[in-house]
Amino acid sequence: MIEQQKLKEFEEKIYEVVKGDSYEKPTVKVRVPYGVQGDCLEIVVEQMYEYVKMGFSTLQAISDILGTEKIDIYSQDSRGGCDTCDYGSSYEITLRAYEPKV
């Protein structure tokens, strides 16, 4: 079982990678996914107005933080906000990292 403190450390380090220079700052959650067997972490990056850019260099940096090359974009989801300004919208990317070094 992975300690909560270690998950919090991962969240802080991954936040530094994904925060970019956008006005809206993302939230990052790292958790052990329910019902998944084996060593796996789920990383959820959410931001208002647009998806966080998740290119090769971002995935590589996250991979380095977690100590594994086995990382996938598991899902993307969005929820609309205000009809005129999109305030309150949510754009979420979920990654799965297998066999992280913790």
For the chain, helix, strand, coil in percent to 5 are 25, 30, 45
* Class level of CATH domain 4-98: alpha beta
Place of tokens 């647009």: 50
Q: What is the pLDDT of residues 13-35, one digit of tens each?
A: 999 999 987 788 999 999 998 87
In this predicted model, what pLDDT tens digit does every residue of 43-94 receive, in sequence order? 999 999 999 999 999 999 999 999 999 999 999 999 999 999 999 999 999 9
Domain boundaries in the chain? 4-98
